């Protein structure tokens, strides 16, 4: 067993294992735990550093600089560039997400099987359900209690109830959560059961070698088989890890296809079919303080429009980010900042139809992505419903934050009209993409997919992919638990393959 900090390495390092995993987030950690339990020698290589909960940043901007890829502001390219958000730390995005846990919706699974019936044997629903049960037990996944949720979350319940929309407390992977509202910076008390607090320590206790602050640059091949990785530590020294049985990519829907391509893999679908959940938010002012930075970061959701591709969530930001979201200058801005305790943020996540592409450009990673007309109809409806909910919950006014439309709305009828009169130009909205999928998607046809039903890259021995890049489509819900369930099936496959 060993934990190696790449920032401290002073000489080239090489080692041999049965399995090498690239990425330590939900996918990589799940594969690592399963294979360590099976008695295999395993290494996990992570580009980011390990976070001690006591050192978790208090403000969002420091966290973005330290724990997010590209300061949390890496942009898609297209008519309306949007930041896409990824964590970069031991434990991956699980360290800095809102701890939201969803089982893969059955209707999404059925959609996958209708498009490619061969996936039925690779992703049987009964096996996924079994893995979900295990994950919910091991990660203490349970609905957020009212006492932890805080006022900002309970107000969403009130607004949804008034509009007759189905809603519920968000199920989260936490234990003894006190509602500090700091999930997005890393829990300072270690009460979010992220991968750095759960699966990775268990795997290390079983013999896992965990390399932090080490970036994999390319995969190594010999006689048509993937046999390891070549990497560079943060200290600048070379790291080479051999894998006698398998290399598993769990580096995300952006980094995994890039690593495959720069390692010489050429598949027609590689990097294509990028899908995600663009999110749009709205703020509202309440007469009584709501203190948006207190309570569970994201503790309530409205799911009544999920099948239409719209899901609403409370957004919990720290003071610095909340202040940055206020518009205006001079006295007006000063007044709003002085009254931050009265402002509340909610968001709508969109199950977008848009399909983009991930590639390497002259300036680095390039994610080409443009929302469709149907997507913008969902965005517009999401803003309208969200504003109406907030007014129904007691907001004095709401600020849609949409260029070319009312800066503030107090009349529910005017807010409802936004669904039909609001702009359809994506440039009018401030959106960000979370939850990315599809760039190494799984399928039976090598012409239209990258990974086969056995989780192996088509035409490559010993090379597997286990992250959300293999998802045939986006899911419309937070994918952490779905990623882990599929990764567990991938690990079972590797453990039984010879």
Block residue for tokens 């997005």: 184
SS (H, E, C) the chain: CEEEECCCCCCCEEEEEEEEEECCCHHHHHHHHHHHHCCCCEEEECCCECCCHHHCCCCHHHHHHHHEHHHHCEECECCCCCEECCECECCHHHHCCCCECCCCCHHHHHHHHHHCCCHHHHCCHHHHHHHHHHHHHHCCEEECCHHHHCHHHHHHHHHHHHHCCCEEECEEEECCCCCCCCHHHCCCCCCECCCCCCHHHHHHHCCCEEEECEEEEEEEEECCEEEEEEEEECCCCEEEEEEEEEEEECCHHHHHHHHHHHCCCCCCCCCEEEEEEEEEEEEEECCCCCCCCCCCCCCEEECCCHHHCEEEEECCCCHHHHHHCCCCCHHHHHHHHHCHHHEEEEEEEECCCCCEEEEEECCEEEEECCCCHHHHHHHHHHHHHHHHHHHHCCCCEEECCCCCCCCCECCHHHHHHHHHHCCCCHHHCCEEEEEEECCCCECCCCCCCCECCCCEECCCECEEECCHHHCCCCCCCCCHHHHHHHHHHHHHHHHHCC
CA-CA-CA-CA torsion sign (157, 160, 165, 170) = negative
Distance CA 186, CA 134 (A): 24
Per annotation, catalytic residue among 435, 458, 492, 496: 435
- Give the list of residues 6+ apart from residue 223 with CB closer than 8 angstroms, or none: none
CA-CA-CA-CA torsion sign (111, 112, 118, 120) = negative
In the residue annotation, 435 being an active-site residue is answered as yes
Which residues are annotated as catalytic? 435
């Amino acid at each position: 067993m060993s934990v190696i900090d790449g920032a401290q390495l002073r000489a080239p390092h090489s080692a041999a294992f049965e399995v090498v995993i690239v990425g330590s987030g939900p996918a990589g950690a799940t594969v690592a735990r399963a294979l360590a339990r099976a008695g295999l020698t395993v290494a996990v290589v992570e580009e980011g550093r390990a976070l001690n909960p006591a050192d978790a940043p208090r403000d969002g901007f420091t966290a973005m600089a330290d724990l997010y890829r590209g300061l949390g502001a890496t942009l898609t390219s297209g008519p309306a560039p949007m930041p896409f958000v990824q964590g970069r730390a031991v434990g991956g995005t699980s360290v800095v997400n809102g701890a939201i846990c969803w089982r893969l919706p059955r209707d999404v699974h059925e959609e996958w099987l209708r498009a490619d019936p061969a996936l039925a044997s690779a992703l049987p629903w009964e096996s996924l359900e079994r893995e979900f049960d295990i994950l919910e037990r091991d990660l203490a996944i349970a609905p957020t209690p009212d006492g932890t949720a805080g006022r900002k979350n309970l107000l969403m319940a009130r607004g949804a109830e008034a509009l007759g929309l189905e809603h519920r407390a968000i199920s989260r992977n936490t234990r003894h959560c006190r509602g500090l509202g700091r999930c997005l910076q890393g829990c300072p008390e270690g009460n979010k059961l992220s991968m750095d607090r759960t699966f990775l320590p268990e795997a290390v206790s079983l013999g896992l070698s965990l390399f932090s602050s080490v970036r994999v640059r390319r995969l190594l091949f010999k006689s048509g088989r993937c046999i390891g990785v070549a990497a560079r530590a943060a200290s600048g020294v070379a790291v080479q890890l051999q894998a006698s049985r398998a290399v598993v990519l769990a580096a995300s829907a952006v980094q995994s296809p890039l690593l495959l391509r720069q390692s010489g893999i050429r598949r027609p679908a590689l990097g294509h079919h990028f899908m995600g959940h663009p999110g749009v938010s709205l703020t509202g002012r309440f007469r009584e303080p709501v203190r948006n930075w207190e309570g569970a970061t994201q503790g309530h959701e409205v799911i009544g429009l999920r099948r239409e591709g719209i899901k609403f969530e409370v957004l919990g930001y720290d003071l610095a980010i909340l202040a940055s979201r206020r518009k205006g200058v001079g006295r007006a801005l000063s007044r709003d900042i002085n009254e931050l305790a009265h402002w509340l943020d909610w968001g709508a996540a969109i199950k977008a139809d848009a399909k983009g592409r991930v590639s390497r450009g002259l300036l680095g990673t390039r994610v080409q992505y443009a929302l469709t007309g149907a997507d913008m109809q969902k965005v517009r409806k999401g803003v309208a419903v969200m504003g109406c909910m907030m007014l129904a919950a007691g907001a004095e006014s709401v600020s849609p934050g949409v260029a070319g439309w009312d800066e503030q709305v107090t009349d529910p009828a005017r807010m409802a009209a936004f669904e039909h009169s609001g702009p359809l130009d994506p440039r009018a909205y401030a959106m960000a993409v979370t939850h990315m999928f599809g760039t190494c998607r799984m399928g039976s046809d090598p012409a239209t997919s990258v990974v086969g039903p056995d989780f192996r890259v088509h035409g490559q021995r010993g090379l597997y992919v286990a992250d959300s890049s293999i998802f045939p489509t986006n899911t419309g819900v937070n994918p952490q638990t779905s990623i882990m369930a599929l990764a567990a099936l991938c690990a079972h496959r590797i453990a039984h393959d010879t």
